[in-house]
Amino acid sequence: MKKITVAVDGPAGSGKSSVSRQVAAMLGITYIDSGAIYRAITWFFLEKYGDIDSETPFGNGIKGLDIRQEYYSDRTTKTFVNGLDVSQLIRSEEVVKSIQWVSSNKAVRDFVTTLLREWAGEKSIIMDGRDIGSVVFPNADLKIYLDASVETRAKRRYDEYVATGKNVDLKAIKKQIIQRDSQDTAREFGALKRCEDAVFVDTSDMTQDQVVNKLTELIENQDSV
Ligand code: CDP
Ligand code: CDP
């Protein structure tokens, strides 16, 4: 297989990360989770300042920050900040509540974009996020935009929390998803948007395996494969 770059964008709960991980494992390519980087930077600043907002000096703080990500053949990913494994810590509610300040900051976005491009290097990759097809890899071989109804996405997140023994409220999760959708689409830089050249897949009534098959088919039909 020749080198291929696949960009997968879409809102929270559309299935980007689970589907991309599975596709990567099936094709033997690397999966890169860009959202984990924004989460890791948010975690770092929360640790540093306790609380963050639009006034936090992110631009100075990220200089020299050592962020790494490792992808394993069992489809898992680990993210490290200055050598510390933060993979679990970055999944907290606190991180999600504050992430908008970090992901709307231009200096942070430029830092992350450079990092993601470096990581991809000469490898075949599938990367998911919000601005992968629009900003990080505008010349990706294949761009996918995954979406699903808010109800479906909220229920998926709810089921995930319940499976890990967490006591959560479906209505509150739906509200949080709607709020994050508007933050992600409204920001000035790196906003979530459906690129004209992206293949749109509404996953509302599709199982994860059906979406994986659809993406694998699209990738295999690329000229470069
Ligand atoms: O998994 P989930 O969809 O909840 O989110 P994620 O992919 O882990 O991303 C968390 C947040 O990081 C998003 O809501 C965005 O605000 C931000 N993000 C971004 O700004 N750009 C990306 N390429 C990826 C994530
Ligand atoms: O990365 P993103 O926030 O877009 O979504 P995800 O974390 O990959 O998916 C959220 C949940 O929905 C996971 O538990 C997936 O297994 C599930 N899912 C699903 O039920 N049906 C799909 N077609 C895709 C994902």
Does residue 104 have its Cβ closer than 6 Å to ligand 1? no
* Separation of alpha carbons 161 and 144, rounded Å: 26
Check whether 224 has a pLDDT greater than 80: no
Q: What is the pLDDT of residues 179-204, one digit of tens each?
A: 999 999 999 999 999 999 999 999 99
Give the separation between CA 202 and CA 66, rounded to whole angstroms.
36
pLDDT of residue 166: 87
- The pLDDT-based confidence of 223 (bands split at 50, 70, 90) is low
From ligand 1's centre to the CA of 9, what distance in Å? 10
User: Distance, CA 131 to ligand 1 centroid (Å)?
Assistant: 9
**pLDDT value at residue 93:** 85
Task: Write the pLDDT tens digit of every residue in 149-182.
Answer: 999 999 999 999 899 898 899 999 999 999 999 9
pLDDT average, residue stretch 144-150: 98
Residue 33 scores a pLDDT above 50: yes
